[in-house]
Structure 1
Amino acid sequence: MSLRRARRRPRARTSSRLFATYAAASLVPVMALGAVMLQGYQHDAAEQGRAQGLAQAAVIAEMAIAPALNSGETTPSEGVTEGLTTAQLDRMQAATEHAVFRGSVLKLRLRSFTGRVVFSDDGSTSGGVPTSDPDFRAAAAGGSRATVISGRTEVIRVLQPLVASASGQSVGVLELYLPYQSIAEQSHAQVSRAWWRVGGALAALYLVLAVLAWSTTRSLSRYAARQEYQATHDALTGLPNRAAFRARAEQELKAAARGGDTGAVVLADLNRFKEVNDTLGHHAGDELLREVSARMRACLGTNDVLARLGGDEFALLLPGRDRAEAVALLEQLSDRISDEMVLDGVPLSIEASFGAALYPEHGMNLHDLKQRADSAMYQGKRGTANVVVYAGGETGHPHQWLVVQAELRHALERDELVLFYQPKIAVASGEISGVEALVRWQHPHRGLLPPGEFLPAAEHSGLIVPLTEWVLRRALADQTTWTEQGHDWPLSVNVSARNLEVPDFPRYVRDVLAATGAAPHRLTLEVTETALASDKGTVARTLTELGELGVGISVDDFGTGYTSLSHLRGLPITEIKIDRAFVADVARDPQSQAIVRSVIELAHGLGSRATAEGVETVEVSEWLAAAGCDEAQGYLFGRPAPWPQIAGAPLSEGAGR
């Protein structure tokens, strides 16, 4: 969970930065738009003020100035040009005095086109706008101009052509200075109202843009998070995927290398998962994977990492755990997974195989640790334990197995395989009571290879089925030959769990027996305890059918697996082979003696014979004879060899003792 929070914080910061950038970018055009609109309103207000000034000047010129100039003494044109008469001055003073007194006019001048002041409200005859001023020239030409002049106080200066009412011609220029405060206040009020309206609209627009920006950044952030999650997690179980596991494991291994920490890399897969898919359907297989993932997740600590690599294969990273802690946790996981579950109304139990590689004991490179964990896992699948820790040595899996599997297919086609046989001795008489067929590979480049070099790869790939069939055909053909030469040796052939799971295997055995003319009772098929426990229903049916053919069934390596007595009940068992682990020191170790005696009694109680494997000393052979063991095999009696060598070789002196 700490990793998820650590990833969530950078995403949150990124989302906030993206929103801030988006908000700032959208604020600039909004503010620019507001500034342009405000400037426009201010310009409109100023234009309105000038328009009011022009209108006021026109009213004054028409209603006050023009009537005052119209006297019978002189024409307005003559008065403005040559000077006003006393009567005109009095009328002008009277006409403008009220406006000036009320403050609606600040200053008034009547000027000729030459710029001469012919009347002013204060009686002055100088000052005013120069005749060179564009506004004065425009007014002299018949146009009106209004300008806001800033100073201690703002005023409107209006230059208005004075038109004689009789002729309609311009006779002079009226220069007015009007107060701007009232107009400014009105304009300011108008601009303020406009600003509040515009500001409110822009604020609303910005809020809309901000909400859109926030929603967009959140959507983008969630989309990026989903993309990241999908890129690093398994869609079915929600667990980290192969890429995420590799990144986290490499990070942890680097930290462990600096700090000297310990831990484990574990690979696991489910046993007989394919059967669930084939029997109940892929939807049940998917549900099984989800349930197993949930069960494993519930057992792990906060620092442990569980990932699904694909199919039914999982990987675990257990940082900070030593060998004992890692094994204890994996055994807990194994027990939890094997608890009964119900899929599609069918109760079933599933088991998993775990292979662990420890760091730094087994390396600090993730590739090496995974390879060694994989080797340990498949060792567990071939053996008897669900949890196996890598024990050292060269790993033949995975990449070397691919080569072996490819070459082994060609070896079957080119007949590069050969059979060796090891004699089985009747303990009481010392005579050969049978032979066990053991396959070897005459590799064109590597020489004669023992089964440990290629059988694990064959079992993992499914090549074990055609390989076993080849061994069975060749061994029965050899048996026919040695029988014709006077050696009445029964034959034992090893078969794997995969062979027993093939529906047509009993029919194949029957057909081979018929083709070679071999008697079924002279053939014994050896199966391991692991094979017996792999699928009780399928294995039991296959063994029963083989027993009905008359073929003997032997339980190989008995005592090292986890076969319960219920697995043996009802099966046509004709032989139980005691594993060499108990036989090697049986002459001196009381516990081994107790186990071997118990197995011998069990075999006899089931109506089977007991055969001891790995007998290498006379002392052990004599003890087995005294304990009632029926048969034995081992280096004391002979090493594996082609059958003609067995036929011509004398047995050891201790064979009959």
Structure 2
Amino acid sequence: MWFRRARRRPHARNGSRLFVTYAAASLVPVVALGALVLEGYRRDAAEQGREQGLAQAAVIAEIAVAPALNAEDVGASSNIDDGLTLAQSAGLQNSTEQAIFRGSVLRLRLRSFSGRVVFSDDGSTSGGVSITDPDFQAAADGQPRAKVIDSEVIRVLRPLVASASGQSVGVLELYLPYKAVADRFHAQVSRTWWQIGVCLAALYLVLALLAWWTTRSLSRYAARQKYQALHDTLTGLPNRAAFREQADAVLGKGGTGAIVLVDLNRFKEVNDTLGHHAGDELLQVVADRMSAALGPGDVLARLGGDEFAILLPGRDATAAVALLSTVRERVSAEMVLDGVPLNIEAAFGVAIYPLHGNNVEELKQHADVAMYQGKRGANDIVVYAGGGAGHPHQWLVVQAELRHALERDELVLYYQPKIALPGGEVCGVEALVRWQHPARGLLPPGEFLPAAEHSGLIVPLTEWVLRRALADQLGWSATGRDWTLSVNVSARNLEVPGFPGLVLDLLAETGIPAHRLILEVTETALAADADEAAKAVAELSRAGVGISVDDFGTGYTSLSRLRGMPITEIKIDRAFVTDVLHDPQSQAIVRSVIELAHGLGSRATAEGVETAEVRHWLAEAGCDEAQGYHFGRPSPWPQISTQPHLEGVSR
């Protein structure tokens, strides 16, 4: 939970910033709209003032000016450039005084087309608009013009038309008061401003609410997208990308800790038998159980499929294994899916930093190696110890080279003798494959078999071993040796349809009796897929092929499983044989396995016999056969009978 909360805070801050930006951006068009409306009102008011000035000037010209000019006939004159008569001036003075006195006119001038002032209300003969002014020229051409020249005055220039002739004889220049119009404009603008302000404020509020809702929705959507990008949708755990990010951050702080890879055993069986919905439920239950067992500073992630990863900061190998033991117990506790009780096992591969690496990928590779070692062995919690089966990314190279090795016949077979107890004669051999690599020399099976087992190469490889070993068996049979032949097969071989038929066909081709071939299957392989393994084992056994349980005591096979299988031989793992002279528990286990084998009608064969003392102890305990370096190291079959150790084993 701490991981998820830490990821959500930035989205809240980002949402707030987005809202402020959106709100500020929304304010700009609102203010611009208000300014545009006010500017429109200002232009309308100015236009109204001009129109009012033109109308007022027309009234003055018709009522006051034109009648005074008509006191004398000026109709024949084309202009008034020669001036006015005394009667005309007196008439204009009388007619305009009242307008000037009442303030409806601020200044009045009559001007000729040449610009001469022929009459002014104050008696001056100078001043006024320049004759080059576009407004003066327009008025001289018969087009009136009005202009607001400051906040309180409107200037009007209009043609002066004589009533008698109807012709323009000059220009009437009027200055009219604009204050009343301006006051009405300001009052109107004030009312309009409040109205527009309220509307714009309401609009902005709506936009702000929309911005808040939108940014909040976007922030939540971004948070969901971010969460989904970093979390597994089925279990809610961090995914591969999130685990990598968190692990990089923890490794960057230094210190020690562990990276663990977890893989569920037999998960495919649940999917195949109960359905994928049961598999999904299983993953959810396992995720919850592992989360409950981990500490607050630990990180659990699902990498995909049935594979999980755990980051354990601050823990050394001992502390990590102790915690994982608790995790394993919780995971393996019985659960019920679709009414079927299940016990799920898991393999844990542990890599310690900085001991096993300083970056996530290197540590994951080492943890992966340890995990697969756990899947093949008895211990399901394995700490990486270096070397081993190689890194998974190296397996790709090994697999490619191994394909060529099969084509070029670079593989060779060595055989380790099996000695009958107590007599000591060679009664059989176990075929062990080696690879004569053109660059790396002779490679033991541990260098390439793990890569083959995790690919389809194990199938043609096993077929090659069977063909070559049966051919060699024909060779030693021709010399009078009736040794049995033991060949190791993997769980994948047992799962391949038609594998029993392949074995029987090879026996028929070589003419080797079926009872002289023993197929060794690890205890783990028998438990990997019970149904397929049982079918293959049963078919081979019915044909007479011997079945040997290899590495007994290190896997997961229950006694009830052995009871139902036609087992020819049970091989006691070297882990119990090595210290059988000194460890009472190992002695008890070996004796129990021997009795179990005999009770099932099988032979008991001990592996890893290194000394004569161990050989004698096993013979006295009733063990049927033994093999190990005490009797001879693996070698090509013609050299088996000539090894120095074998010359005296029967003595």
- C-alpha displacement at 1:591, in angstroms? 1.5
In the alignment, is residue 600 of structure 1 matched against residue 594 of structure 2? yes
| Equivalent of residue 362 in structure 1, options 348, 351, 356 | 356
Distance between the aligned counterparts of 2:329 and 2:108, measured in 1? Answer: 113
Match of 1:392?
386
Distance between the aligned counterparts of 2:627 and 2:241, measured in 1? Answer: 50
- C-alpha displacement at 1:358, in angstroms? 0.8
In the alignment, is residue 628 of structure 1 matched against residue 626 of structure 2? no
Change (3 A) 1:28 1:13: same
In the alignment, is residue 567 of structure 1 matched against residue 561 of structure 2? yes
| 2:391 partner letter | H
- C-alpha displacement at 1:576, in angstroms? 1.5
In the alignment, is residue 587 of structure 1 matched against residue 587 of structure 2? no
1:620 alignment partner, SS class: helix
> Could you list the per-position Cα deviations for residues 232-275 of structure 1 after superposition, in whole angstroms to 9, with x for gaps in the alignment?
6667776655555434333321122xxxx222222334445566
Within 5 A, what are the aligned runs for 1:82-93? 82-84=85-87, 88=91, 93=94
1:655 alignment partner, SS class: coil
Change (3 A) 1:652 1:516: closer
Distance between the aligned counterparts of 1:6 and 1:416, measured in 2? Answer: 56
- C-alpha displacement at 1:482, in angstroms? 2.1
User: Do 1:524 and 1:551's aligned partners in 2 also have CA atoms closer than 8 Å?
Assistant: yes
Distance between the aligned counterparts of 1:104 and 1:329, measured in 2? Answer: 103
1:524 alignment partner, SS class: strand
| Equivalent of residue 438 in structure 2, options 436, 444, 450 | 444
Distance between the aligned counterparts of 1:131 and 1:636, measured in 2? Answer: 132
Within 5 A, what are the aligned runs for 1:20-59? 20=20, 24=24, 27-28=27-28, 31-32=31-32, 34-59=34-59
Distance between the aligned counterparts of 1:646 and 1:655, measured in 2? Answer: 13
1:639 alignment partner, SS class: coil
* TM-score, normalization by structure 1: 0.83
Change (3 A) 1:276 1:169: same
- C-alpha displacement at 1:446, in angstroms? 3.0
Structure 2: tracts of 5 or more residues without a match: none
Distance between the aligned counterparts of 1:355 and 1:462, measured in 2? Answer: 24
How many percent of aligned residue pairs carry the same amino acid?
71
Within 5 A, what are the aligned runs for 1:488-507? 488-507=482-501
Distance between the aligned counterparts of 1:312 and 1:635, measured in 2? Answer: 40
2:253 alignment partner, SS class: helix
Match of 1:263?
257
1:84 alignment partner, SS class: helix
Change (3 A) 1:61 1:607: same
Match of 1:246?
244
Distance between the aligned counterparts of 2:445 and 2:130, measured in 1? Answer: 120
> Could you list the per-position Cα deviations for residues 489-518 of structure 1 after superposition, in whole angstroms to 9, with x for gaps in the alignment?
222222221122223122222222222222
| 1:357 partner letter | A
1:599 alignment partner, SS class: helix
Match of 2:426?
432
- C-alpha displacement at 1:565, in angstroms? 1.0
Deviates more, 1:567-576 or 1:304-313: 304-313
Match of 2:409?
415
1:525 alignment partner, SS class: strand
> Could you list the per-position Cα deviations for residues 159-218 of structure 1 after superposition, in whole angstroms to 9, with x for gaps in the alignment?
566655455456777665544332222222344455556656766776777677778767
| Equivalent of residue 633 in structure 2, options 622, 627, 639 | 639
- C-alpha displacement at 1:544, in angstroms? 1.6
User: Do 1:493 and 1:526's aligned partners in 2 also have CA atoms closer than 8 Å?
Assistant: yes
Change (3 A) 1:598 1:67: same
In the alignment, is residue 469 of structure 1 matched against residue 467 of structure 2? no
Structure 1: tracts of 5 or more residues without a match: none
Deviates more, 1:137-146 or 1:57-66: 137-146
Change (3 A) 1:503 1:341: farther
Change (3 A) 1:56 1:418: closer
- C-alpha displacement at 1:344, in angstroms? 8.4
Match of 2:517?
523
2:635 alignment partner, SS class: coil
> Could you list the per-position Cα deviations for residues 349-389 of structure 1 after superposition, in whole angstroms to 9, with x for gaps in the alignment?
65443322111121213332122112112211221233221
Distance between the aligned counterparts of 1:524 and 1:283, measured in 2? Answer: 41
User: Do 1:110 and 1:172's aligned partners in 2 also have CA atoms closer than 8 Å?
Assistant: no
Distance between the aligned counterparts of 1:174 and 1:48, measured in 2? Answer: 20
1:573 alignment partner, SS class: coil
Distance between the aligned counterparts of 1:484 and 1:164, measured in 2? Answer: 151
| 1:599 partner letter | V
May I ask how many residue pairs the two structures share in their alignment? Answer: 642
Distance between the aligned counterparts of 2:435 and 2:615, measured in 1? Answer: 31
1:461 alignment partner, SS class: coil
> Could you list the per-position Cα deviations for residues 41-63 of structure 1 after superposition, in whole angstroms to 9, with x for gaps in the alignment?
21221221132133223334434
- C-alpha displacement at 1:571, in angstroms? 0.8
- C-alpha displacement at 1:606, in angstroms? 1.5
* TM-score, normalization by structure 2: 0.83
Distance between the aligned counterparts of 1:613 and 1:429, measured in 2? Answer: 17
User: Do 1:105 and 1:176's aligned partners in 2 also have CA atoms closer than 8 Å?
Assistant: no
> Could you list the per-position Cα deviations for residues 83-115 of structure 1 after superposition, in whole angstroms to 9, with x for gaps in the alignment?
2389958xx75x6676566x4525465757586
Distance between the aligned counterparts of 1:387 and 1:52, measured in 2? Answer: 100
Change (3 A) 1:51 1:611: same
> Could you list the per-position Cα deviations for residues 372-424 of structure 1 after superposition, in whole angstroms to 9, with x for gaps in the alignment?
11211221122123322102336622243223222222222333322222222
- C-alpha displacement at 1:613, in angstroms? 1.5
Within 5 A, what are the aligned runs for 1:126-525? 126=124, 129-130=127-128, 132=130, 144-148=144-148, 150=150, 154-158=152-156, 163=161, 165-168=163-166, 178-192=176-190, 195=193, 242-256=240-254, 261-272=255-266, 296=290, 300=294, 303-309=297-303, 312-335=306-329, 351-393=345-387, 396-525=390-519
Change (3 A) 1:335 1:466: farther
| 1:43 partner letter | R
